[in-house]
Structures are given as C-alpha cells and as structure tokens.
Structure 1
Amino acid sequence: MIGCFGKLPSSADFVSLHGAAEEVCEFDAWLQSSLAAMRYRDDWQALFDALPMCFFTYRARNGNWLLGGLLSSRDASQRRYPFFIFQLLKGDDSTGLVNPFTLGELFSAQIKPMLHQAVQGADCTRLFERIKALRPLQGQDLDLFRRVHAKFLHDFSFTDVARALHGSWPGFDSATALAHLQLGRASLLGDFAGGIELPLPAERGLKNPTADLWLTWLARMSEHRALPAVSLLADDFMHPQLYCFPARHASCAYRLLSGCADPRQHLELLSPLTTVPRLHDYDRPLEHVIDQFVDALDATPV
C-alpha cells in the first residue's frame, strides 16, 4: 500500500490517501508529539520551515514498517505540519529487513519531486493520481537488496566509509566515532528516549548504503538485533545525517533536526573524547569490523 498524509497549501485541512491505516495513525502521533515538544520556542515555525527533506523508516507496534519521505509544510491557514508519502511493508514481507534506505532508494527518488511540488501548491487530485501509479516493493526486491547490502558489507572497508565521510564531515575520526557508539551502549540497551545522530557522506552512491551500515551496526548492538523503531535520513545537500530513535516514545526528533535538543537527548559521534579510544582494523571488510566491535562489547560489562 502506498499513500500520503499531512498538510498542503492547497487544502484547508489534512489531506490523506490511505492515511487512516493503523501504522500511519501511529506515525502521525509520533510526529505530532515531536512537533509539540518544539512549540515552546518562539522561533519554532522558522526552524520547522528550514528543515531539509527527510526519508524515514517507522516500525509500527504490529510489526509492519512504513518507508517514505516527509517535508515541512502548512495548510491554507498557515498551520504547520509535515506532508509525507509512504509505503507500507507488512511484517511477514519485511522479515529480516536490514537495509531500508537502500531498498527504498528508487521509491525515494520517485517521491522526492512529488513532495517538493506538493508543498509548493500542486493540485491534490493530480498528486494522488501520481502516487497511486507508483509501484510497491515486492518480495523479490527485498531479497535482491538484502544481497546488495551484504555485498556492500563484504566489499567495503571502514576506511572507505571514513574517506567518503571526510568530504562532508572533515572532523570525522573512526576511532572516536566507534568509541562514542561503545559509550552509548547502555543507553541503547535501556529505555533511551533520545536519538542517535550519525554522519553520512554527501556522495550519492554511498549515502544510503552508509545509512544502512549504521542501522546494521545499531541492530547488532541491540539486545534483540532489531533495527531502531524510527529512523530519519535528513537529506541535507552537504551535511546529510541519520537520526535513529530506539524507542517509539522519543519525542525529540524535531528538536534534534533543528539543532535545539538538550544534550541529554542525543548521542553523536563527532565530538572529541578525553580518553584514548580503542583502535580497530579499519582496512578489513565492514562485516569484519562490526563483528570485532560487537565481540569487544560482549567482553565488556555494561
């Protein structure tokens, strides 16, 4: 199922195509709580309007997934709320989902211009027709892109990823980044109501695979090897980032995206450390570096 929900300048209220689905209602409530948590600021509307497009994954309580993209918008009365286009993946179909951003790359490319045109006042009827014409992901797509992700983990090293990250994040240091992840393990295993901020390369061919790399890394660190409940890929032109929220009750997404979150609400990988971080064999394939990292975690008390 493919649909949309949110506010548009061409409508006086919410617009919806399959927006009454249980999973969409859940995601809507999550967005509403995140937006409400930022409204205490006098400049919240300006912060909201300036945010980049985000591509998202959301795991509903029933085990189904939403994949899609969202963009800050408003209705005809200037009331702010995002507009998003989504695709629903049933839990049975998405079993073993490990690489949602690579899997949804074509879908994201198709909906990106639609989102821009929609928030600029495009006709809703024509927009709905274009959304209905989109091809939903099939089981064979999941199998194919799961193999693509496995090949990426086998063929690329962490040195390759770090080199790509330096173009957008010159201060990225491999040892420091992984040390931050290690220090954040207790939060990940606990009931952490914040988010994790992860840098991505601006290079088009590596942005989504690196996002899925971070998701795989976090899943391996989690108690049940599960992907974070919610992830947002902020598609900033020069400084893309991935924001992961292990718990659905986290309400700090918009504060993180706009850079006004309390430091206790997020973990990030770029700030310097006072201790000397542990070194890993970064020239080995990514799958090996992840295994080495997780083995070291398992040998360290939380």
Structure 2
Amino acid sequence: MIGYFGKLPGNADFISYRATSEDLQAFDECLQVGIRRLMEEERWEMHFDGIPRCSFLFRASPQHWLVGEMASSRDASGRRYPLMTFQRLPYQVQGDAFQAPWTLCEVNARCAGEIMQDAIYGHGQPTRFADALQALRPLNDGDLNLHQRLHARLLQELRLCDISEAMSKGYPEFIANAVLQRMTGLRQLCERAPMPPVVLPLPAEQALMRPVADIWTHWLTLIAPAPMSLLLLVHDFMRPRLLAFSQGNTSRVHRLLAGLAPRQERFDVLEPFDRFEPSLVQTALPDPGQSIGSCMARYAGYDDRT
C-alpha cells in the first residue's frame, strides 16, 4: 500500500498514513540528520525551500527498498520538513538481473508528484491528499518482473552515443569518454575505500531520464563495495541528476541537494580529477556505437550475455 508522511502548510504538525515501519523510521532519522547539517548554514530555510522535488530509493533492510516521492514543505508554523509518499518493494538481486526501480515507479511517481505539489502549494487538506494517493495502484511482482526484462533489453539496444545526444541539451559539458574515465576512477576508488556520495547527470528528456537513472544505478550496484543506502532522482528541470549515498554518508544529503557541499564531499562524474591518474590514461575507450550493456561489461563487470 502507498503511505505518506511529513508536513503540509495547512497543518499544525506531521501528517502520516502507514508510517510506523522501521524502514520509514530509519529514513526519517536520515532526513533529520541531513536537515540539522543544513541548519548550520546561513539562510538555511531558503536553501531547504529551493530543493527540487526528488524521487527516492532508501534501503533500510536487506529485503526491501522504500521507494517514493519527496518535496520540501513546512507546517502551519513554518517548521520545515519534507512531505513524502512511499511504498515498500522487495529488494531482489539474482546474478546480473536488475529491477530497474526508476522506470518501475515512473507512473506512480508522476501522479504522486502532482498530488504533492497541489497539496503543498494549493494548500490542500490532508483528507483530499490521502484520497488522491489511495487512488494510485500499488506496484506488484508482475510489474517488477516486466521492468527487469525491459531493462535487460534496454542495455542491449541503447547505445553510448544515444545517451550523449540526450545529455547534450541539459549538459553540454557531458563528454562520454571523460565520464567513462571518471566511472573507472570511481570503481578503482571503491576497491580500496567506501563509495563517496556520487553525482550523475540525467537527460532532461522524460522518455530517457528514468531509464538512464536505472543504468547508472545498475552500474553503481556492480562497482560499489557495499549496497547503497539512499538514491535520489532530483527533478531539476533541464539538469536532472542522480545522487547515490553509501551507508554512513547520508548526513550530507541536504547539503548536496542544496548545492552547498564542497567538492571533497562528493564525486561528480562531470568534474575533473583532483590529481592526474596515470592508470586512466591507459583505459581503452569504447566505440560510441557500442551498446550500454557492452560498456558496462567492460567497465563495471556486467555479464552482458544474460
């Protein structure tokens, strides 16, 4: 079932439905820590209010993802906290199979996002907000299996040059070979240390934004030394992006969302290396016409025969 938790401008305190699970309590704690870190900044309320709406994946247990939408909000007294909708999904990893959670949740995410924006900016009542959410169809095992197959097909059909072309409008600085070298550098870093918070660009084109988010998430799943704890798809108009956090790094989440995190607190694949990395000069670069599955096989250890 779809639940909700957070604050609405017309209410004096938190509103909630199906919000008693340990998963949500862990996510709430993660957000509270992030907000406290943000409060150390001057005019932190302005920065909080300016954070775009996000889709999220939060993994509090080995068995489940908490998936949903999140937007900056406040209560009637002006106390800041996000408003979020959520659903629990099983976390399944079988070899190189991948669930493609971002495209899986696309329809519900779009509808929930519109409902949330109406509630926050239209001063909607909690009952109307709740009724609108309950009209959405919860995801089931059939959805999971379908999108897993679609993702595997996408890896074989989508080419590196297709992603480069899709990125060109919002990210003219996107250069495929440079990004591949950065991803190789990230893989080498993950072999000797925990994964830092990672920032990855996404196409602004709606048809490709979530599929590319699934590709990046799959890629990170293959190279990260431990399962990721939190992923955020940031709906930032022409420059959407994916943020990925490992366990222990989520305290920086709101600083990164607000654009206040210094360079040493993140790994952005569009930024140059801090120092020259001789090993990456030897990296063989692929034909831009290669499929993404072939690129992942070379750079992330994906078995593209599956």
TM over 0.5: same fold? Answer: yes
The match for 1:161 among 160, 163, 184 is: 163
The alignment-based identity, stated in percent, is: 33
1:104 aligns with 2:105: yes
1:8 aligns with 2:8: yes
- 1:255-266 to 2 correspondences below 5 Å: 255-266=255-266
Structure 2 contact 194–225 (Cα < 8 Å) conserved: no
CA distance in 1: counterparts of 2:149 and 2:287, whole angstroms: 24
Task: Name structure 1 gaps, 5 residues minimum.
Answer: 297-302
1:289 aligns with 2:291: no
Task: Name structure 2 gaps, 5 residues minimum.
Answer: none
CA distance in 2: counterparts of 1:50 and 1:165, whole angstroms: 24
Deviations 1:110-141 (A, max 9, x none): 10111101212101011112222221101110
Letter in structure 2 aligned against 1:37: R
Structure 1 contact 56–69 (Cα < 8 Å) conserved: yes
> What does residue 20 of structure 1 align with?
20
> What does residue 300 of structure 1 align with?
none
Structure 2 contact 98–218 (Cα < 8 Å) conserved: no
Once the two structures are TM-superposed, the CA of residue 63 in structure 1 deviates from its matched residue by: 2.3
SS in 1 for 2:231: strand
CA distance in 2: counterparts of 1:232 and 1:280, whole angstroms: 29
Summarize the Cα distance change of 1:187–1:292 in structure 2 as closer, same or farther, 3 Å threshold.
Answer: closer
- 1:61-210 to 2 correspondences below 5 Å: 61-91=61-91, 97-120=98-121, 121-189=123-191, 192=194, 194-210=196-212
Deviations 1:34-76 (A, max 9, x none): 1111111112110110111100111112521111110000000
Letter in structure 2 aligned against 1:41: E
> What does residue 216 of structure 1 align with?
218
Structure 1 contact 54–71 (Cα < 8 Å) conserved: yes
Larger mean CA deviation between 142-151 and 275-284 belongs to 275-284
Letter in structure 2 aligned against 1:291: A
Once the two structures are TM-superposed, the CA of residue 281 in structure 1 deviates from its matched residue by: 2.7
SS in 2 for 1:214: helix
CA distance in 2: counterparts of 1:188 and 1:37, whole angstroms: 25
Letter in structure 2 aligned against 1:271: E
1:280 aligns with 2:286: yes
Summarize the Cα distance change of 1:160–1:219 in structure 2 as closer, same or farther, 3 Å threshold.
Answer: same
Summarize the Cα distance change of 1:247–1:187 in structure 2 as closer, same or farther, 3 Å threshold.
Answer: farther
Deviations 1:148-200 (A, max 9, x none): 11111111111111111111100111111111122222543466474100000
SS in 2 for 1:106: helix
Structure 1 contact 194–250 (Cα < 8 Å) conserved: no
Structure 2 contact 8–76 (Cα < 8 Å) conserved: yes
Larger mean CA deviation between 212-221 and 191-200 belongs to 191-200
CA distance in 2: counterparts of 1:38 and 1:2, whole angstroms: 29
Larger mean CA deviation between 263-272 and 72-81 belongs to 263-272
CA distance in 1: counterparts of 2:11 and 2:62, whole angstroms: 31
When the two chains are superposed, the root-mean-square deviation of aligned CA atoms in Å is 2.0
CA distance in 1: counterparts of 2:145 and 2:235, whole angstroms: 26
**TM score, norm. by length of structure 2:** 0.90
